[in-house]
Amino acid sequence: MRPSFTSRWYQLALMAFCALLLGNMNFTYADTVTLTNGSKIDGTVLKESTTEVILQVGSLGVIRVQKDSISAIEKNRRTGVADKKPASGKNRKKGVNNREEEKPKNESALTSKVEVTVSKSLKTYLEKPLAALEGKQKLEVEQWVEDLQRQRVNYRSRAERKLKEAGPGVVPFLQPVAQSQFSLTRICALRVLNQFPRYESMAVALAGLDSDDPWVRKLSSELAAKISGEARLFPWKEGGALSVRSKAKSGWSRWYQQQESLRVKIEAVEKPADKPGKDRKNHR
> Is 126 among the domain residues?
no
Dihedral, CA of residue 79, residue 83, residue 89 and residue 91, to nearest 10 = 150
The verdict on 161 and 262 lying in the same domain is yes
Which one, of 32, 48, 58, 168, lies nearest residue 114 by Cα?
58
> Is 98 among the domain residues?
no
Domain of residue 34: give its range.
Answer: 5-86+109-115
Dihedral sign (CA 84, 77, 114, 201): positive
For the chain, how long is the longest CA-to-CA vector?
A: 90
Cα 229 to Cα 226: distance, rounded to the nearest angstrom? 5
> Is 99 among the domain residues?
no
pLDDT value of position 23: 52
Cβ density class 218-251: b for 16+ within 10 Å, e for less: bbbbbbbbbbbeeebebbbeeeeeeeebeebbee
The verdict on 17 and 81 lying in the same domain is yes
The verdict on 168 and 239 lying in the same domain is yes
Over residues 170-192, the mean pLDDT reads 93
Q: How confident is the model at residue 18 (pLDDT cuts 50, 70, 90)?
A: low
The verdict on 172 and 230 lying in the same domain is yes
Q: What is the CATH number of the domain that holds 75?
A: 2.30.30.100
Q: pTM score, two decimals?
A: 0.56
> Is 102 among the domain residues?
no
The verdict on 174 and 48 lying in the same domain is no
The verdict on 80 and 167 lying in the same domain is no
Q: How confident is the model at residue 17 (pLDDT cuts 50, 70, 90)?
A: low
| Range of weakest confidence among 175-189, 236-250, 267-281 | 267-281
The number of folded domains in the chain is 2
The verdict on 178 and 242 lying in the same domain is yes
What angle do helix axes 242-283 and 5-22 make, rounded to 10 degrees?
Answer: 110
> Is 122 among the domain residues?
no
How big is the CA angle at 176 (ends 170 and 177), to the nearest 5 degrees?
A: 85
Share of the chain above pLDDT 70, in %: 69
Question: Residue type for 74, please?
Answer: E
| Range of weakest confidence among 9-13, 67-71, 213-217 | 9-13
Q: Is the pLDDT of residue 102 over 50?
A: no
Q: How many CB atoms lie within 10 A of CB 283?
A: 6
The verdict on 147 and 37 lying in the same domain is no
Question: Residue type for 54, please?
Answer: I
Q: Does residue 163 or residue 34 have the better pLDDT?
A: 163
In contact, 189 and 144? CB cutoff 8 Å: no
> Is 104 among the domain residues?
no
pLDDT value of position 271: 66
Which one, of 3, 51, 204, 251, lies nearest residue 243 by Cα?
251
52-57, strands of its sheet edge to edge: 61-66, 52-57, 40-48, 29-35, 70-78
> Is 29 among the domain residues?
yes
